[in-house]
Structure 1
Amino acid sequence: MEQAWWKESVVYQIYPRSFNDSNGDGIGDIPGITEKLDYLKNLGVDVIWLSPVYQSPNDDNGYDISDYQAIMKEFGTMHDWEKMLEEIHKRDMKLMMDLVVNHSSDEHQWFQEAKKSKDNPFRDYYIWRSSKDGELPNNWGSMFSGSVWEYDETTQEYYLHLFSRKQPDLNWENPKLRQDVYKMMKWWLDKGVDGFRMDVINFISKVPGLPEAPNPNETKYTDGSRYFINGPHIHEYLHEMNQEVLAGYDVMTVGEMPGVDIEEAKKYTKLKRKELQMVFQFEHMDLDSGPNGKWDLRPFKLKDLKESISKWQKGLHDVGWNSLYLNNHDQPRAVSRFGNDKEYRVESAKMLGTFLHMLQGTPYIYQGEEIGMTNVQFDSIDEYKDIEILNMYKDKVINGAESHEEVMKSIYAKGRDNARTPFQWNDSKHGGFTSGTPWIQVNRNYRSINAEQAIQDDQSIYHYYRQLIKLRKKYPIIVYGDYQLILENHDKIYAYLRNYKNEKLLVITNFSNQHVLFELPESISFEKAEKLISNYDTLESENPRFFTLKPYEARVYKGF
């Protein structure tokens, strides 16, 4: 297997609005990030992935960009950004920026020009359609509720927006648009950026004609994703991007790709195809969703997680490369979702970290994961800030017939604001995030869950994550070993083997709050077992072939 620095790295995602506020305005900022770089260096991470800090009117918290080559004033200045990058590199860490080029803000200069007239030079930077027999151009529903079409009075046409109406989709069929995007990417790379995480990048190619989507439930708007996910020219565009931009730099790339399957992922990540290095796939993030999508809650089953993870571990082995994550800015907190954030918060957070970091792929840590931050339950819908939550609530409760209580249960479980509450640095007011009023409330549990307390406690989740990262750097088997699921049908234990150059790694995790008997199958030879890490004290003399796991226990053994 070809070795590479980005395979051996651990990535830490920062959501800047919620990380650290240096000036007391209640909003996290770039100088605030620079202040905390030693914290990240001490944790052991190699790469910082920074969610968007570009100029933006903030309709979707920075994912609506009005100037790709300017910094949002709330976050600081370009000088602040350059200083941060310098300090990151000084600590031998790297910076991966968010690239959001499926859409821009409607306040971007391109769109401001495009809507002036049908013959404006920038008109074809976006996707416009006329009314169809007095109706909308098609029946697709937006990711953020409502139609994907917004009417423009000036030119009397509709523009496409798969997300908010303030996020018009860019027209990648236009070669001039593509060249402008590539020019912007080179500008950032020449400033020293070490890679890009590409937002919904597999949405950029739409099926010609933008056809009506099947609508068996006869809803007003329906899912049109079959016409824009992994579209007809997506590989052509990404190969062109690679050849025109990425091939000239030693950088890390990961594409966020909802709806991607194994076969498509192989095409995206196979090195010889020269597209991307990794994808973020969402299959394991949909395991607790019912047939009506993310807000339709259903219990998570370990069997489903095993099937999904094993399929991706096996499918991309020796072909592409996996990105490993359980948390990000769009997902609820993993310890609340897959673990137990009450009586076993510490144990289950460590168990989940063990399960993830011992897999083959590049692990991603989302801010607060390393101290076991949990989901939040605000008292009122008015305290939520996320456009997706607010639009969904309006659709289902204000304009629909669903109850406030039922919809709030879904928000508590799956809302994106779970991940966006301010980082809990210490037990002072607002968790030490700001000296002002935070843009969104801090989780009330900050007095007992915070970084200062975690650093002082050598048994904390934070120090456990430091161990996991150190092990990854010490043992190549953790990075490059293959994957073999064992005890496939066990409903509480997720155990697997890694094999590499005559070495074996045995990873055993208990996903339940019960004591469970572990028995290694006789068919597996495992000798000279050395315990590398565990989240409970265990006897060194204990036989790794047969023992009882405590609630949410995790163990890793190395053998031959």
Structure 2
Amino acid sequence: MLKNLKTNPIYLLLILLAGCSTKTEKASKEIKNYWPEAGITYEIFIQSYYDTDGDSIGDVNGVIQKLDHVRDLGANAIWFMPIMPSPSYHKYDVTDYKAIHPDYGNMEDFKRLIEEAHKRDIKVVIDMIINHTSDEHPWFLEAKKGRDNPYRDYYVWAQADTIQDYLDKKTITLDSDNIRQWHDPGKGNDYYYGFFTGDMPDLNFDNPKVREEIYDIGEYWLEEVGVDGFRLDAAKHIYPDDRAEDNHAFWKEFRAEMEKVNPDVYLVGEVYDMKEVVAPYLPGLPALFNFDFHYTLLEAFEKQDGMLLARKQKEILDYYQGITDDFIDATISSNHDQPRLLNELGKDENKMKQAIAILMTMPGAPYLYYGEEIGMLGKKPDPHIREPFLWKAREKDEGRTKWIQPEFSTDKTVTPLSQQKENPNSYYNHYKTLIELRNTNPALAIGELELVENGFPKAVMAFKRKVGEQELFVLHNVGENEVEVELAENLHKAVYALNGAAMKEGKVILPGNGSLVLE
């Protein structure tokens, strides 16, 4: 996936390991070291994770206490949703770019978290929100004082008469349902631009001083704090949609500035759109979230059309390759903006387990949203997609957060982690098994994707993953009914089976939502 992949010594070692009978332990160790190209990243909303000081809100020290959970699950990195001071619960409107929200702790706590994470070979990525600030940020408080204020040009302003046609225009986009973008600060007839809400005024990246401020902030977190990278929020909206080329140029500049500080910095961007819009961002943001993966996965289950997702994924990867060979495909089955995966799949346990089997056998660098590994539930509005993690039964769970009254993920609907650990058929142990499968089979982690179009039943997804001497044949039946598949090839053994899938008398038997990985 990356231009230096085939010359990387770890890659070459993995190819050798793929042909070794004793590859499992060694391959697992090396793949874990090969983050981010083949790594698994675990997304955490600290607010809901684990509370150590009794204020009902999760905190940095709570994450430190639970780092072994991330390690034991098999993830290689953590992406933290916003951690900086903010007036909102979600913290996507920053008031101080060089601090930790006091509800979460302080900078010394966070530096200790990074140190403890790194001891466990876990990388740390933080949300960086630079498209906009909070309207309570000191820059904006100064800017709205008047046209002569030195911070005025940090934001985008226009006089009412020049934007009259836009003031009441209702704009609905894939990533914003805001009904207007120009907002009145109550200071005369000037309006400021805020793509998402009036509480989030957009920064003016035509101003060199703004870009310098942002680069300085990035340098601070990389050099002074020690994070390993950034998830770049709303990366498509640095400039308006009609200035896409300016967006692309900015991210190239941003990447160059960050690589001056850390040549290995990891940058993953949120560009919520179709592949033709997403791909040109790759030279600046070498990792981009694959939202199509999430939606096509759901569509495949709905239509019981196995190859729908496989073809879409191959199409995206081939298209990206035409732009650059220096990219990471950040695949997701869910995140903090979508209803929980189990809700999307009608609370069907078999579909849920197969969805993760598909994610872990497909190319890409998968992201896992906290709580999915125990089957948490949640629907819009957003706070209820971000409900408290259930560590133990409620009466024993002293660290469970209470900042919100959960409506979906309760003790009646979700089995806490402590109980799931004891059940070999639990969601948690299912996730662990599949992550281990990926981490011990180089073909699944970094192998090429080859579709198998052999006239199989419509519900069957069939593809090969290849690297070095290892070749795996992957079959998923996303339908409800059992199917039989005849294989023309000589396959030695099954390395993974889900829901009773098996080889029998030269045929593959795939029950409804059954999966099989053959070597």
Q: TM-score, normalised by structure 2?
A: 0.84
Structure-2 residue corresponding to 1:373: 376
Give me the whole-angstrom Cα distance separating, in 1, the residues matched to 2:163 and 2:228. 49
* Paired residues for 1:75-224 under 5 Å: 75-132=104-161, 135=164, 137=166, 139=169, 141=171, 143-190=176-223, 191-206=225-240
Q: State the AA in 2 paired with 1:516.
A: V
Q: Is the 8 A contact 2:331 2:367 kept in 1?
A: yes
Give me the whole-angstrom Cα distance separating, in 1, the residues matched to 2:517 and 2:227. 35
TM-superposed CA distance for 1:304, in Å, is 4.7
Structure-2 residue corresponding to 1:422: 388
Q: Specify whether residues 348 and 99 from structure 1 end up closer, same or farther in structure 2 by C-alpha distance, changes over 3 A only.
A: same
Summarize deviations over 1:219-263 as a string: whole Å, max 9, x none. xxxxxxx436xx23112111111112234312211100012524x
Summarize deviations over 1:341-391 as a string: whole Å, max 9, x none. 24xx1x322211110111111111110111222335xxxxxxxxxxxxxxx
Which residue of 503, 508, 512 maps to 1:547?
A: 508
Task: Give yes or no for the alignment of 1:341 onto 2:347.
Answer: yes
Structure-1 residue corresponding to 2:267: 253
TM-superposed CA distance for 1:116, in Å, is 0.8
Task: Give yes or no for the alignment of 1:534 onto 2:497.
Answer: yes
Q: CA RMSD in A?
A: 2.7
TM-superposed CA distance for 1:479, in Å, is 2.2
Give me the whole-angstrom Cα distance separating, in 2, the residues matched to 1:300 and 1:542. 28
Q: Specify whether residues 479 and 53 from structure 1 end up closer, same or farther in structure 2 by C-alpha distance, changes over 3 A only.
A: same
Give me the whole-angstrom Cα distance separating, in 2, the residues matched to 1:301 and 1:459. 25
Which residue of 7, 12, 20 maps to 2:50?
A: 20
Q: Secondary structure at the match of 1:141?
A: coil
Structure-2 residue corresponding to 1:315: 319
Give me the whole-angstrom Cα distance separating, in 2, the residues matched to 1:95 and 1:505. 31
TM-superposed CA distance for 1:167, in Å, is 0.4
Q: Secondary structure at the match of 1:235?
A: helix
Which residue of 43, 46, 50 maps to 2:76?
A: 46
Structure-2 residue corresponding to 1:10: 40
Structure-1 residue corresponding to 2:309: 305
Q: Is the 8 A contact 1:117 1:155 kept in 2?
A: no
Q: State the AA in 2 paired with 1:17.
A: Q
Q: Is the 8 A contact 1:115 1:155 kept in 2?
A: no
Q: Specify whether residues 371 and 288 from structure 1 end up closer, same or farther in structure 2 by C-alpha distance, changes over 3 A only.
A: closer
Q: Secondary structure at the match of 2:450?
A: strand
Name which of structure 1's ranges 238-247 and 529-538 shifts more when overlaid on structure 2. Answer: 529-538
Structure-2 residue corresponding to 1:405: none
Q: Is the 8 A contact 2:500 2:514 kept in 1?
A: no
TM-superposed CA distance for 1:435, in Å, is 5.9
Give me the whole-angstrom Cα distance separating, in 1, the residues matched to 2:178 and 2:38. 39
Q: Is the 8 A contact 1:19 1:28 kept in 2?
A: yes
Give me the whole-angstrom Cα distance separating, in 1, the residues matched to 2:302 and 2:115. 45
Q: Secondary structure at the match of 1:468?
A: helix
Q: Specify whether residues 285 and 477 from structure 1 end up closer, same or farther in structure 2 by C-alpha distance, changes over 3 A only.
A: closer
Q: Specify whether residues 40 and 133 from structure 1 end up closer, same or farther in structure 2 by C-alpha distance, changes over 3 A only.
A: closer
* Paired residues for 1:228-243 under 5 Å: 231-243=244-256
Q: Is the 8 A contact 1:41 1:91 kept in 2?
A: yes
TM-superposed CA distance for 1:265, in Å, is 4.1
Q: Secondary structure at the match of 2:215?
A: helix
Q: Secondary structure at the match of 1:495?
A: strand
Q: State the AA in 2 paired with 1:2.
A: N
Q: Specify whether residues 442 and 325 from structure 1 end up closer, same or farther in structure 2 by C-alpha distance, changes over 3 A only.
A: same
Q: Is the 8 A contact 1:255 1:276 kept in 2?
A: yes
* Paired residues for 1:382-393 under 5 Å: none
Q: Is the 8 A contact 1:316 1:322 kept in 2?
A: no
TM-superposed CA distance for 1:485, in Å, is 2.4
Q: Is the 8 A contact 1:260 1:281 kept in 2?
A: no
Structure 1 spans left out of the alignment, 5+ residues: 207-225, 291-297, 377-410
Task: Give yes or no for the alignment of 1:557 onto 2:493.
Answer: no
Q: Specify whether residues 312 and 446 from structure 1 end up closer, same or farther in structure 2 by C-alpha distance, changes over 3 A only.
A: farther
Identity %: 29
Q: Secondary structure at the match of 1:196?
A: strand
* Paired residues for 1:501-520 under 5 Å: 501-520=468-487
Q: Specify whether residues 41 and 126 from structure 1 end up closer, same or farther in structure 2 by C-alpha distance, changes over 3 A only.
A: same
Q: Is the 8 A contact 1:333 1:418 kept in 2?
A: no
Q: Secondary structure at the match of 1:70?
A: coil
Q: Is the 8 A contact 1:257 1:280 kept in 2?
A: yes
Structure-2 residue corresponding to 1:352: 355
Give me the whole-angstrom Cα distance separating, in 2, the residues matched to 1:502 and 1:299. 36
Summarize deviations over 1:415-455 as a string: whole Å, max 9, x none. 434531111212224x9375674324153553552211121
Summarize deviations over 1:464-485 as a string: whole Å, max 9, x none. 2222222333222112211122
Give me the whole-angstrom Cα distance separating, in 2, the residues matched to 1:489 and 1:418. 40
Q: Secondary structure at the match of 1:88?
A: helix
Q: Is the 8 A contact 1:110 1:122 kept in 2?
A: yes
Q: Specify whether residues 435 and 546 from structure 1 end up closer, same or farther in structure 2 by C-alpha distance, changes over 3 A only.
A: closer
TM-superposed CA distance for 1:47, in Å, is 0.4
TM-superposed CA distance for 1:319, in Å, is 5.2
Give me the whole-angstrom Cα distance separating, in 1, the residues matched to 2:296 and 2:467. 30
Give me the whole-angstrom Cα distance separating, in 1, the residues matched to 2:378 and 2:156. 38
TM-superposed CA distance for 1:164, in Å, is 1.8
Give me the whole-angstrom Cα distance separating, in 2, the residues matched to 1:169 and 1:537. 53
Give me the whole-angstrom Cα distance separating, in 2, the residues matched to 1:316 and 1:502. 26
Summarize deviations over 1:69-112 as a string: whole Å, max 9, x none. 11112212222212211211121211000011111100111111
Give me the whole-angstrom Cα distance separating, in 2, the residues matched to 1:30 and 1:50. 10
Give me the whole-angstrom Cα distance separating, in 1, the residues matched to 2:328 and 2:78. 19
Q: Specify whether residues 204 and 444 from structure 1 end up closer, same or farther in structure 2 by C-alpha distance, changes over 3 A only.
A: closer
Give me the whole-angstrom Cα distance separating, in 2, the residues matched to 1:553 and 1:341. 17
TM-superposed CA distance for 1:535, in Å, is 2.3
Q: Is the 8 A contact 1:50 1:97 kept in 2?
A: yes
Q: Is the 8 A contact 1:126 1:171 kept in 2?
A: yes
Q: TM-score, normalised by structure 1?
A: 0.78
Q: Secondary structure at the match of 2:230?
A: strand
Q: Secondary structure at the match of 2:147?
A: coil
Give me the whole-angstrom Cα distance separating, in 2, the residues matched to 1:134 and 1:176. 25
Q: State the AA in 2 paired with 1:332.
A: P
Structure-2 residue corresponding to 1:331: 338
